[in-house]
DNA sequence: CTTCCTGCAAAGAGTTTGCATCAAA
DNA sequence: TTTGATGCAAACTCTTTGCAGGAAG
């Protein structure tokens, strides 16, 4: 598949590895925090630049969630998530009922469709439980 | 349905009217531009504050699109849109296959689901045509 | 009159850019 | 050695907040 273009640097390798190993989309900040464990001096800018470069190369997909923050995941993984509005945790949604809908919409509207986003939000069981404990 | 709370001001009335009359979700900036036609001195801040207040009252729904910009529309209108990545125009998608999916997901994950977002993006026929003209 | 709302300015958050330095190749 | 990548700081965009003056009730 698409390989990271340009020079091979430790930072680049590390950032890509974090994305590959993650089970959910990560913000630049989250990638930065994880990467920092290995690097004493790593700039958040570098994380942004590499993630955007990966996205341009088609290795990674970037999407903006309903909280306005961009998240990155491997492009090979096409997934949808449900995000807790409180703790911000995401769980994967196995369904993706869009491949057929996509063709239909393209035919109806004349758009050439390059992507879609879908996200559910709500309150996860843990946060719900916490509420109930605080009340009762 | 839910009426605008608090004091009745010309600004508030105008902002709500613009949202009501629009056939697509609008950014604060867009509402501001339209409202400005009537008001010589209206602050963008006021637009933001009122839109957020309307959202809190349940009159309006705010959602962040894939370009990272918040858009507002009447809550009563539950719609999905397909947005051109070039000219940023949106057209409505009549389908919303989520009411059943929602119940299923809630049962499977234990989340209490408060909302969802879905957006398709691509290139609209006009922008595609423009490309072809430039080439040929 | 009282309180909420407005407008202005300034602060915040997330992201991007300019530039000198550094290190892959 | 050459050129792309990094780190730092500053800029930028969208959004939110603090505060004094103004108007709705």
A38 touches chain B (CB under 8 A): no
Chain segment B109-126, per-residue pLDDT in tens: 777 777 777 777 777 777
- The residues, ordered by sequence, that sit 6+ positions from B7 with a Cβ below 8 Å of its Cβ are none
Nearest to B109 among A70, A82, A117 (CB): A82
A132 touches chain B (CB under 8 A): no
Angstrom distance, B80 CA to D4 C1': 42
Compute, in degrees rounded to 10, the torsion defined by CA atoms A104, A105, A106, A109. Answer: 130
Cβ separation B66–A68 shorter than 8 A: no
A29 to A26, A34, A71, A72, B24: CA distances (angstroms): 8, 9, 9, 11, 33
Strand-pair partners of A93:
A80
| The pairing of beta strand B60-64 with beta strand A112-123 | unpaired
Q: What pLDDT sits at residue A1? A: 44
Binned at pLDDT 50, 70 and 90, residue A112 comes out as confident
Chain segment A33-83, per-residue pLDDT in tens: 999 998 888 999 999 999 999 999 999 999 998 889 999 999 887 677 776
Q: What is the mean pLDDT of residues B99-117?
A: 75
Q: Where are the alpha helices (H) located in B22-124, listed in sequence order?
A: 28-36, 44-56, 98-109
DSSP-derived 3-state class of residue A17:
helix
Angstrom distance, B45 CA to C12 C1': 15
A118 touches chain B (CB under 8 A): yes
> Smallest CA–C1' separation from B62: which nucleotide?
D15
A84 touches chain B (CB under 8 A): yes
| pTM value surpassing 0.85 | no
Q: Calculate how close chain A gets to B68, using CA atoms only, in Å.
A: 5
């Amino acid at each position: 598949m698409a390989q990271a273009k340009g020079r091979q640097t430790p930072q680049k390798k590390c950032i890509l590895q974090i994305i590959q190993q993650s089970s959910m989309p990560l913000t630049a900040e989250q990638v930065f925090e994880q990467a920092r464990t290995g690097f004493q001096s790593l700039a958040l800018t570098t994380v942004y630049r590499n993630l955007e470069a990966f996205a341009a190369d088609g290795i990674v997909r970037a999407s903006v969630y309903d909280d306005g923050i961009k998240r990155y995941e491997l492009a090979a993984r096409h997934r949808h998530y449900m995000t807790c509005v409180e703790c911000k945790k995401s769980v994967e949604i196995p369904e993706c009922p869009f491949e057929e809908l996509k063709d239909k919409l393209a035919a109806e509207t004349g758009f050439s469709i390059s992507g879609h986003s879908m996200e559910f939000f709500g309150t996860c069981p843990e946060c719900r439980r916490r509420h109930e404990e605080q009340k009762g």
